[in-house]
Homo-oligomer: A and B are copies of this chain.
Amino acid sequence: MLHPRREPEPTVAELGEHEILKRLRRFCADDVGDDGAVRSLPAGARLVVTTDVLVDGVHFSDRTLPPKALGWRAAAVNLSDLAAMGATPMGLTIGLTLPPDTLWVWVEALYQGFTDCLRQYGGAIIGGDLCRGSHRSLAITALGCVPQALYRNRAQANQMLVATGVHGASRAGLAVLLEELDAPDSFAQTWIKAHQYPIPRFDAIALLHKLQNFDCIAGMDTSDGLADAVIQICRQSQIGARLLRSQLPTPPGLVETVGQSTAEQWTLYGGEDFELVLSLPPDIAEGVISELPSSQIIGHTTSEAKIRLVDDMTNGPDIQLDQGQGFQHFSN
């Protein structure tokens, strides 16, 4: 039987920069084409800016992220930082470094992922740069605007600490993708989705804007882990915290699959769940957890500047949370 001969997919080197930029136009805002993009902010709004770099082999790999998921995730990571500031997305700039042998279909799927995420949460691709390099990397800057920003350093003692969702799912998804973990299929699919398609929590921000002004509440996203977020908020607010071990937001099925100790480690230090940790007055905290089904109280803040994980039944030996266990890019 004869098969029609298929043309091989073109590489970016075969297409050349001008052709690639022409093809990428359809993913971008209409006015791309000057030395810079021009945008107006709503009256009274302030600008919020955040940047993330993702490098092949460090933050992603073909094994764990197909290009469309990579595009979604790269956009979501940056949008999550905007959400953490209480901001609404305006747009992204994308600095893309590609080896010459990268296939165009890979680039196209990547941009499809970016735009799928932006279509869902707002904003557009408003600029970028494309260049040759030996390794793939993405440098993304997200721009948003906010009437009043949410900061890390506004937490006060005796507030409730709220996590907007479970933690450790992204780490578990990575383990499944790397074939380091064998999990029941339904959990495996949920965790893989948490790793590949994280969701920036603009729903929590919309709710907070309704419930409270941002003067005496604090928040940040949990890109570097739940423990790291609690530590950062407490340090910058010069307070402490007690996290309740029984209240750790561990994903369903994780303890059963990896055991209590690993599940706790991944929940506290796994990172990349892109949820929010918020420090809120008790009444607001209750409002949030009643209206945001995935959220839960994980502990409370204290005037004593220590951050502890406590066993709430016994008040037994405290565990000092260790920032060193978070993700450090230059340590081995």
CB-nearest residue of chain B relative to A139? Answer: B139
Q: Would you call A100 and B141 a contact (CB within 8 A)?
A: no
**Chain B: minimal CB distance from A75 (Å):** 15
Bound CA span A215–B253, Å: 62
Q: Would you call A15 and B330 a contact (CB within 8 A)?
A: yes
A-B contacts, 7 of them at CB < 8 A, read A37-B48, A38-B48, A41-B47, A53-B139, A95-B139, A95-B141, A134-B135
Q: Would you call B331 and A16 a contact (CB within 8 A)?
A: yes
Q: Would you call B93 and A49 a contact (CB within 8 A)?
A: yes
Residues 21-67 (chain A) with a chain B CB within 8 angstroms: 33-41, 46-55, 57-59
Q: Which of B39, B87, B331 contacts A47 (CB 8 A)?
A: B39
Q: Would you call B55 and A144 a contact (CB within 8 A)?
A: no
Bound CA span A85–B93, Å: 16
Q: Please state the number of chain copies in the assembly.
A: 2
Interface window among A145-153, A160-168, A314-322: A145-153
Q: Would you call B331 and A58 a contact (CB within 8 A)?
A: no
**Chain B: minimal CB distance from A93 (Å):** 4
A contact set with B: CB distance below 8 Å = 12-13, 15-18, 20, 33-41, 46-55, 57-59, 80-82, 84-85, 87, 91, 93-98, 100, 126-135, 137, 139, 141-144, 146, 149, 151-153, 220-221, 236, 323, 328-332
**Chain B: minimal CB distance from A155 (Å):** 13
Q: Which of B13, B35, B331 contacts A84 (CB 8 A)?
A: B35
Q: Would you call A33 and B152 a contact (CB within 8 A)?
A: yes
Task: For A36, list chain B residues within 8 Å (CB).
Answer: 48-50, 81-82, 84-85, 87, 142, 144
Bound CA span A323–B211, Å: 56
20 further A-B contacts with Cβ under 8 Å, apart from A39-B48, A132-B330, are A15-B330, A17-B329, A17-B330, A17-B331, A20-B330, A34-B149, A34-B220, A35-B85, A35-B220, A36-B82, A37-B50, A38-B146, A38-B149, A41-B41, A51-B129, A53-B96, A100-B330, A129-B139, A134-B134, A137-B137
Task: For A98, list chain B residues within 8 Å (CB).
Answer: 330
Q: Would you call B55 and A97 a contact (CB within 8 A)?
A: yes
Q: Would you call B151 and A51 a contact (CB within 8 A)?
A: no
CB-nearest residue of chain B relative to A276? Answer: B35
Task: For A149, list chain B residues within 8 Å (CB).
Answer: 34, 38
